[in-house]
Structure 1
Amino acid sequence: MITTELFLIAMAVIFSLPWLVWRLGRTDYWAPLVVVQIVAGILLGPGVMGRVAPEAYTFVFTPAVIQSLNGIAWWAVMLFVMIAGIELDLKKAWVHRRESGITAGLALGMPLVCGCVAALVMLSAGSGWMGLQAQTWQFVLGVGMACAVTALPILILFMEKLEILRQPLGQRILRYASLDDIAIWGVLALILMDWERVGRQVGFMLAFFVIALLFRRLMRWLQERDRWYVSLIWLAVCGFGADWAGLHYMVGAFLAGAVMDAEWFDQERMDLLRHHVLLVMMPVFFLSTGLRTEWALGGYAVFAAAALLLVASVAGKLMGVHLAGRVLRWGPGEASIVGWLLQTKALIMIIFANILLDKAVITSDTFTALLLMAVASTMLTVPMVAPKLARLRELVLRYH
């Protein structure tokens, strides 16, 4: 078959398999469609399908097909990260800076420390986890931050499902996640700092700061219908600049969105854009992510590492938020709800891990363990939160 036909077969599989499992299996409560798509990407990768049905795998996923899928995946994830940057609401975080700062700091700091300890345990257990281009501190900090990540876009989807997004509790949680997002991308930039190209990276940041000021003036002057189009040009330019400087195109995508104000765009249209990117393009990213999974160290070792990382991630997040709740004197049960929602990983952690893999900070085995951890932690969120909300519904309307 020619590449076009194989590409369309791959696209049919990418969209049909997760949807059938999600719909027929009625998994929405504990595994929303986005989680099923991530799992399907793993199953269709070389670690599972490549071993169970190697002929079918190599027949469909040829190098040309994989390259075509990667192109779609790159643009999809850049759009998704830009939207996450746009939706950051730092103004409200500043108004409630004491409460937001304490909660966000502990919610990020505790799982970061626990994740760093888990990374050191992995290194002590044997080689094969750290990438060839990484120094030990980069690997430890990268894995630690992967355990601390909160996936802001998926958090929004979950809170919509739980009907708390527009309530005071939901808005508070968004503030905490927004501050953590800033820290996550800042730490990533530090990990990716290339001291041989530090001049280029500093030059990019200085140029970005100046050009961003001019860009913001332009966007205020434009009508909304033009802002949507110009934002895509801005996304491509920022992605190119960051990648050229040695940071990563997704760092550029986040910066592109972070300097834009959500007020410039109609909120319903922004929600629709996020929905359409998730529907039309992100499943390709999930598949391309699955194609990068490896089990070279053996399934038991990878699953053991994933379990260790899951414990570090969830326990660290819950400990941090419970400590914040004590300091801020929250009511009974409040910290548990906030902590479980903030440990949602899914997309942003997977994006973060993809960058670490691209830059050879981690190996494919570590990437696979992180991916399994992200899926498991995200699947726990709704089943753990929904019963608590049913018992403590008054928390939804309480404002701090």
Structure 2
Amino acid sequence: MSTTETFLIALTIIYTVPYFIWRLGKTDYFAPLVVVQILTGVLLGPGVMGRWFPDYFAFVFNDAVIQSLTGLAWWAVMIFVWIAGTELNLQKVWTNRLESGITALFALGVPLLFGCLTAAGMSLFEGWIGPKAMTWQFILGIGMSCAVTALPILILLMEKMTILRKPIGQRILRYASIDDIAVWAVLALILMDWQRASKQLTFLLGFSLLGYGFRKIAVRLPEADRWYVGMIWLAACGFCADWSGLHFMVGAFLAGLILDGDWFDQQQMDALRHHVLLIIMPVFFLSTGLKTHWGVGGTAVFIAAAVLLIASIAGKLIGTWLAGKILHWPKGEAALIGWLLQTKALIMIIFANVLLDKQIITNATFAALLFMAIASTMLTVPMVTPRLKRLEATASES
């Protein structure tokens, strides 16, 4: 069978299996299609399918097919991260900087601390730290994985709960926006390589200068042209960031961050995010699943995932509780916000993918982080829905 035919068989499996699980299992309440796709990627990976059906796995996901799928996955996730950067509204964050800053400080700082303490414990055992990692890189990377909020998936979930355009939804978006900026800033810090510092400083300086010029040009273009030129800018920034040793994902985020979301029609941006998730992101989920190996044993991976999940959830809820005390939020609001900011899914998985690519974490650590991200995202809607109803009922009575 030709590589093309095998590639198309792989695509058929990638799209068919999660759809039937999602639709027939009616999982939408606790696991939207995107979460099911991530889980399916794990099931189709070497940890499950490769173990149970090794010959079939080797036939379908051979080296040529994986290489083709990987290229698609790279471009899919670059577009997704570019959208996330473009949609960040820094002006709104700055307008409400005191409230947003206090909330983000605690909602990000406490789970970061808890995650770092967990990572310090993991570092005492073999099989978790990547071969090219310094201990501080590993600890900070795991800590930030526990603290991150996935802004695009948060938007998706709040749309389903019809609170996205309400005042509380807009507040939560501001808090999550600061989280997003912090994630990529920390990633850039972790990836800083003093042996290649001149290249990385050259990239950052060049990006600042060219980005200023690009903004001046982009604002004068018709909107249809901005979309197309934005893709050119995305590819160029991704290349330059990777050349400097940072990572093409850092470049993709910066390429979007420097643009203003107001330059694009919001409905078209929402549709683009939806279609990217629908059409090509499932390929990224499979490539993620292909990295789920149990190098230190399956039991150890699930124990690590459980501890990381506890650190992440406890950190978020305690952090938002402290922010609520300082800012005098109404009763129940802190827990609601804490559970919504707990949504991780894609951004944390992308973050962990970069750490794995740079060999800062091992496949076993990646698998533990992946399961933690899936569990935290699946808990969001069931935990938020009753709290949201109580909060709305209280507001109605008032």
State if a TM-score over 0.5 links the two structures: yes
Matches within 5 A, 1:87-98: 87-98=87-98
In the alignment, what sits opposite 1:36? Answer: 36
In the alignment, what sits opposite 1:81? Answer: 81
Q: How far does residue 390 in structure 1 lie from its aligned partner after superposition?
A: 1.0
Q: How far does residue 256 in structure 1 lie from its aligned partner after superposition?
A: 0.2
In 1, the alpha carbon distance for the partners of 2:274 and 2:310 equals 31
Q: How far does residue 121 in structure 1 lie from its aligned partner after superposition?
A: 1.2
Q: How far does residue 123 in structure 1 lie from its aligned partner after superposition?
A: 1.6
Query: Alignment partner of 1:47: what SS?
Result: coil
Matches within 5 A, 1:125-140: 126-140=125-139
In 1, the alpha carbon distance for the partners of 2:21 and 2:395 equals 32
2:94 aligned with 1:99:
no
Query: Alignment partner of 1:292: what SS?
Result: coil
Instruction: State the one-letter code of the partner of 2:176.
Output: A
Q: How far does residue 395 in structure 1 lie from its aligned partner after superposition?
A: 7.8
Query: Alignment partner of 1:221: what SS?
Result: coil
Cα displacement string for residues 50-107 of structure 1 (whole angstroms, at most 9, x for unaligned residues): 1011011001000000000000000000000000000101111111111100001111
In 2, the alpha carbon distance for the partners of 1:269 and 1:371 equals 30
Structure 2: which 5+ runs fail to align? none
Cα displacement string for residues 146-184 of structure 1 (whole angstroms, at most 9, x for unaligned residues): 000100000000000000000000000000000111111
In 2, the alpha carbon distance for the partners of 1:238 and 1:67 equals 22
Q: CA RMSD in A?
A: 0.9
Work out whether residues 169 and 395 of structure 1, in 8 Å CA contact, stay in contact via their aligned partners in 2. Answer: no
Instruction: State the one-letter code of the partner of 1:20.
Output: F
Instruction: State the one-letter code of the partner of 2:242.
Output: D
In the alignment, what sits opposite 2:48? Answer: 48
In 1, the alpha carbon distance for the partners of 2:395 and 2:259 equals 29
Matches within 5 A, 1:191-270: 191-270=190-269
Instruction: State the one-letter code of the partner of 1:54.
Output: P
Structure 1: which 5+ runs fail to align? none
Cα displacement string for residues 208-267 of structure 1 (whole angstroms, at most 9, x for unaligned residues): 000000100111110001000000000000000000000000000000000000010000
Query: Alignment partner of 1:19: what SS?
Result: helix
Query: Alignment partner of 2:128: what SS?
Result: coil
Work out whether residues 341 and 381 of structure 1, in 8 Å CA contact, stay in contact via their aligned partners in 2. Answer: yes
Cα displacement string for residues 84-142 of structure 1 (whole angstroms, at most 9, x for unaligned residues): 00010111111111110000111110000000011011122x11100000000000000
In 1, the alpha carbon distance for the partners of 2:238 and 2:324 equals 38
In the alignment, what sits opposite 1:60? Answer: 60
In 1, the alpha carbon distance for the partners of 2:79 and 2:190 equals 23
Matches within 5 A, 1:114-125: 114-124=114-124
Q: Which runs of 4+ in 1 moved over 2 A?
A: 394-397
Cα displacement string for residues 280-332 of structure 1 (whole angstroms, at most 9, x for unaligned residues): 00000000000011102111000000001000111101110100000001010
Identity %: 66
Alpha-carbon distance change, 63 to 394 in structure 1, aligned in 2, over 3 angstroms? same
Matches within 5 A, 1:287-366: 287-366=286-365
TM-score by length of 2: 0.99
In 1, the alpha carbon distance for the partners of 2:215 and 2:90 equals 17
In the alignment, what sits opposite 1:167? Answer: 166
Q: How far does residue 393 in structure 1 lie from its aligned partner after superposition?
A: 1.1
Mean Cα displacement is larger for which, 84-93 or 348-357?
A: 84-93
In 2, the alpha carbon distance for the partners of 1:204 and 1:63 equals 33
Alpha-carbon distance change, 378 to 395 in structure 1, aligned in 2, over 3 angstroms? farther
Query: Alignment partner of 1:331: what SS?
Result: coil
Q: How far does residue 391 in structure 1 lie from its aligned partner after superposition?
A: 1.2
TM-score by length of 1: 0.98
In the alignment, what sits opposite 1:155? Answer: 154
Query: Alignment partner of 2:296: what SS?
Result: coil
In 2, the alpha carbon distance for the partners of 1:85 and 1:191 equals 19
Aligned length in residues: 396
Query: Alignment partner of 2:329: what SS?
Result: coil
